[in-house]
Each structure stands twice: as structure tokens, then as C-alpha cells.
Amino acid sequence: MTAAWVLTALAFAGAIAGIFLFASRRLSDHLAAAGGGLLFGIAVFWLVPEMKSVAGWTALAATALAYVLIAGLDRLLMHTGHSPRQGVLAPLLIATAAHSFIDGWSVRALGRQPVTDVAVTLGLALHKIPEGAALGWVAQQGLRSRSTAVLASFAVEAVTLVGAAIEPTADRSGMAKFGPWWTVGILAVISGSFIFLAIHAIVPEWKRPTVVLAFLAPLLVIGGISTLRLFTI
């Protein structure tokens, strides 16, 4: 649970900055891109191959389906990132809470694996800070009360802890009922969410070379580590 608490604290700190300070969009975009590169690399180079060893090419289909469902839910809830729009604050809070739940579940599930432990926590941390800042700023604009915006941001980001707390019991129950296919399904959802976060971070900023570099650098590092693992196994 330690990593989940750290992620929640970072997200809440970002939200406080978004509510009370003038958050730097330039810094937020670069942090989000770096986190996206890490998460994309983890999904593509580590999680999908692990699923493929159990489920074959079905792993790719499951990941693609998870991505489509997450992206569709996000679009349905009108997740607008930095731009508040009239009438969309509640859907934004719901969408961010859903992402927070998956973040908490992911960091707890993958934290048991020594290779992914640090990388996943770092990738989600880099994503959580700008997410929190954007959430805080949007909440402040929509609610007009700083105290209410703080409470709303805290409640949404605290869902990270709920996902982390539920994961061990749900995992044991799922494994008992579905065996290895439970793991494949969970990893597919995690991979799809990581790919979604990566694309969400980089696509709007693809014309900015420094943001693209911030995305590619950790992605190449994960790819290099993955290649070295192949030669050492």
C-alpha cells in the first residue's frame, strides 16, 4: 500500500498546486509525457509479452479491447484535461476517479514483481502530478470555492487507495475462479489503461519536440532493459 499512498499524496499535492498556484502547463506536459513513455514501454515490452506467454495472440486482442473500452468511457465522460467546460465537472470527477482506481490496483498488482515495481510506481507518479494539477484547476474553475475544490480533489484521488486495498482479495478470488485467465484479463486492463494514458499524454503535444523527447527517452530505456533481459534469461 505504500506506493498507493505515495501516488495519492503526489496527486493531491498536484491538485493543491492547481487550486492555489498557477500551475505550469509546460512542466505538466513534460511530466505527463515522461510518465506516458514509461507506462507505454511497460505495457508493450513487459505486460503484453507476459500475457502472450499464457494466452498467445489473444493477449493483443484483449489489450486492444481494454484500450477501446477505457478510451470510450473517457470520451463518454468528456474528460477534457486542462479545459473546463460548463456542465462537465461531475463527469470529469467520475472519469478521474475511475482512472485513480485502476492506478491503485495497478501499482499494487505489479508491485509484487521486482522488475516492474519501481518503473510502474515512477511512471504513475509522473502521471499523477499533472493529473492532480489539472483536476485541481478544473475543480476550482467549476466549483468557485477553494475549500470545496480541495475536498472534491481529495475524494477523487483517494480512490487510488480503494483500488490498492481491494486488489489482493479480488485477485485471490479471481485466481480461484478463473485461474491464469484472470491474470490475463487484469493485465489486459492495466496494459490498455497504460497505453491510453501514454497516448493521451503525447498525441496532443506531438508537434513539440521537447515533449516528444520526454516521451521517447523513458520508452527507449524500458525497451533497452527489456532487450537486455532477453539476453540474460
DSSP state of 205: G
Nearest to 27 by CA among 205, 221, 190, 167: 205
Q: Is the pLDDT of residue 160 over 90?
A: yes
pLDDT in tens, 162-199: 999 999 999 889 888 888 888 888 889 999 988 998 89
- Quote the pLDDT of residue 14: 84
pLDDT in tens, 7-53: 899 888 888 887 777 555 666 778 888 888 888 988 888 888 888 88
CA angle, 37 then 38 then 40, to 5°: 65
- Cell numbers that stand for 186 in this block: 487484469
pTM (predicted TM-score): 0.79
Q: How far apart are CA 98 and CA 126, in angstroms?
A: 18
- Which amino acid, 83? S
- Quote the pLDDT of residue 15: 86
Answer with the residue of higher pLDDT: 79 or 60: 60
Q: Is the pLDDT of residue 158 over 90?
A: yes
Q: How far apart are CA 226 and CA 213, in angstroms?
A: 20
CA angle, 125 then 129 then 134, to 5°: 145
